[in-house]
Amino acid sequence: MPDSTSPRTTVKRLPDRAAYDRETVNAILDEALICHVGFDDGEGPIVIPTIHARVGNTLYLHGSAASRMLRTIGRGVPMCVTVTLLDGIVLAKSHFHSSMNYRSAVVVGRGQVVDDAAEKDTAFAAIAEKMAPGRWDGARRPNDNERRATLVVAIPIVEASAKIRRGGPDDDPEDLMLDFWAGVIPIATNRGPPEEYVADPL
Amino acid sequence: MPDSTSPRTTVKRLPDRAAYDRETVNAILDEALICHVGFDDGEGPIVIPTIHARVGNTLYLHGSAASRMLRTIGRGVPMCVTVTLLDGIVLAKSHFHSSMNYRSAVVVGRGQVVDDAAEKDTAFAAIAEKMAPGRWDGARRPNDNERRATLVVAIPIVEASAKIRRGGPDDDPEDLMLDFWAGVIPIATNRGPPEEYVADPL
């Protein structure tokens, strides 16, 4: 269901790679551990990576109350959040048709600072669970000072799109018999074995 | 040597995590397979992922001559290229001190379209070698039609910064004895075994 398109998030190039349904956008937002936030710092666009979490149709960002990025987007200026999952390097017989397999989602809109304590905790919990499932109950929750020191910005997921490329190279027929290797090098982002840090008993 | 700082790329938060030397910035740019490009599409900032390659102090982006992103930044408007390497999820005893280990580089500036055929090939070669070492000689090179259909934008790496977080959680001393697991879940981006695509012999 194209419930979240607009001229800005309509994929102009290669529209066969585009998807607008909320489920596809949400799945990409949820799988990605970090996003890239675009905003104007007064001199031009700037892009900053950060962790995000989605709750329903809202995207939450959080960080220090002193963060320039959060303070700027918290004022409700136009902004963009993009996440990208890289799935493979597509090597065609020609450089021209070489490409990447990926799933990306772009959300444009305006954020607003979350002041409500319960909604702030909802955002904290979602971010903790994204870092490690079950983690919200697995660490000390924020106290009042920490809550005050942390800015949470909510971005409604209204204008959004996804773009996906999958599969092998799309070579020109006349290139197919060229004696070059063609195929896909899969790319995966993996979590390794957890490394415990034990406090030094002083 | 801080040869590439400016007020815009000075890391305001946690300056101990910041690095400005060209070698550090270059190493991050080179290791990252994709970047996120921020520009203003006329209605606000937008962030688009793409592959990049660095040659000396120049960053190259390429793609279809019809790409809105490349046509916009090719006009020399203010823009930003950010790359992020995610290295780990840092789980502290408290949610407040939980974090991510990462290496990121931010380049701000203005791009320009590359018309010179030799420089265009330099960019194509650098991108091919980034996708797979030795690949520039391992696939058919662009012909004149393909060269015309491909836009290359060069961005001088003048104003740039890197930000790096490494190591374990920085817990408050009074939290150290809490009975929660604390440590790092390493994150790695890995290339899997190449999957060959063999042309259907029709």
* DSSP bridge partners of A56: none
Using the predicted structure, report yes or no on whether residue A3 has a pLDDT greater than 50: no
Q: Which of A36, A64, A94 to mutate to test the interface with B (most CBs of B within 10 A)?
A: A36
Q: What's the rounded mean pLDDT across residues A139-152?
A: 97
When computed from its CA atoms, the radius of gyration of chain A, rounded to whole angstroms, is 20
- Cβ contact B199:A176 at 8 Å: yes
Instruction: Give the containing element (helix H, strand E) for B52.
Output: strand B45-55
Using the predicted structure, report yes or no on whether residue B9 has a pLDDT greater than 90: no
- CA distances B147 to A14, B60, B82, B152, Å, are 19, 15, 26, 9
Using the predicted structure, report yes or no on whether residue B91 has a pLDDT greater than 60: yes
Using the predicted structure, report yes or no on whether residue A80 has a pLDDT greater than 90: yes
pLDDT band for position A4 (cuts 50, 70, 90):
very low
3-state SS class at A188:
strand
Q: Domain residue spans in chain A?
A: 15-167
Q: How far is A56 from chain B (nearest CA, A)?
A: 22
Q: What's the rounded mean pLDDT across residues B89-113?
A: 98
Using the predicted structure, report yes or no on whether residue A2 has a pLDDT greater than 60: no
Distance, in Å, from the CA atom of B147 to the CA atom of B149, rounded to the nearest integer, reads: 5
pLDDT of B124 reads: 98
* DSSP bridge partners of A83: A105
pLDDT band for position A55 (cuts 50, 70, 90):
very high
pLDDT of B51 reads: 98
Q: Return the minimum-mean-pLDDT range out of A95-99, A109-113, B11-15, B77-81.
A: B11-15
Contacts of B169 in chain A (CB under 8 A): 197
Distance, in Å, from the CA atom of A68 to the CA atom of B10, rounded to the nearest integer, reads: 11
Query: Hey, what amino acid is at B3?
Result: D
CB contact under 8 A, A66 and B191: no
Query: Hey, what amino acid is at B175?
Result: D
Using the predicted structure, report yes or no on whether residue B56 has a pLDDT greater than 70: yes
Contacts of A70 in chain B (CB under 8 A): none
Q: What's the rounded mean pLDDT across residues A62-72?
A: 96
- The topology under which CATH files domain A15-167 is Pnp Oxidase; Chain A (2.30.110)
Distance, in Å, from the CA atom of A147 to the CA atom of A127, rounded to the nearest integer, reads: 14
pLDDT of A185 reads: 98
Percent above pLDDT 70 for chain B: 91
- Report chain B's mean pLDDT, rounded to a whole number: 92
Interface A-B, measured as beta-carbon pairs within 8 A, has a size of 273
Instruction: Classify the phi-psi angles of B63: left when phi > 0, otherwise alpha if psi is within -120 to 50, otherwise beta.
Output: left
- Alpha carbons within 13 A on the beta-carbon side of B13: 12
Contacts of B80 in chain A (CB under 8 A): 38, 44-47
pLDDT of B18 reads: 73
Contacts of B196 in chain A (CB under 8 A): 181-183
Query: Residue B180 corresponds to which tokens in the numbers above?
Result: 């929660």
Q: How far does chain A reach from its first CA to its final CA, in angstroms?
A: 59
Look up residue A140 and give its DSSP letter: B
pLDDT of A135 reads: 98
The pLDDT tens digits for B114-169 are: 999 999 999 999 999 999 999 999 999 999 999 999 999 999 999 999 999 999 99
Secondary structure E strands in chain A: 18-19, 34-40, 45-55, 58-64, 78-91, 99-110, 112-113, 150-156, 159-165, 183-191, 195-196
CB atoms within 10 A of CB A192: 11
Of B186, B87, B99, nearest to A64 by C-alpha is B99
Q: What's the rounded mean pLDDT across residues A149-170?
A: 96
pLDDT of B1 reads: 34
Q: Which of B43, B59, B81, B197 to mutate to test the interface with A (most CBs of A within 10 A)?
A: B197
pLDDT band for position B15 (cuts 50, 70, 90):
low
Percent above pLDDT 70 for chain A: 91
CA dihedral over B167, B173, B175, B181, signed as positive or negative: positive
Distance, in Å, from the CA atom of A138 to the CA atom of B89, rounded to the nearest integer, reads: 14
pLDDT of A198 reads: 83
Q: What's the rounded mean pLDDT across residues A114-131?
A: 97
Using the predicted structure, report yes or no on whether residue B3 has a pLDDT greater than 90: no
CB contact under 8 A, A45 and B45: yes
Contacts of B49 in chain A (CB under 8 A): 36, 82, 84, 102, 104
Query: Residue A149 corresponds to which tokens in the numbers above?
Result: 């020191």
CB contact under 8 A, B196 and A176: no
pLDDT of A16 reads: 62
The pLDDT tens digits for A17-32 are: 677 789 999 999 999 9
pLDDT of A77 reads: 98
Distance, in Å, from the CA atom of B61 to the CA atom of B35, rounded to the nearest integer, reads: 9
Give the global pTM. Answer: 0.93
- The topology under which CATH files domain B15-166 is Pnp Oxidase; Chain A (2.30.110)
* Candidates B12, B78, B89; nearest CB to A44: B78
Q: What's the rounded mean pLDDT across residues B30-45?
A: 97
Of B25, B27, B51, nearest to B128 by C-alpha is B51
- Cβ contact B47:A37 at 8 Å: yes
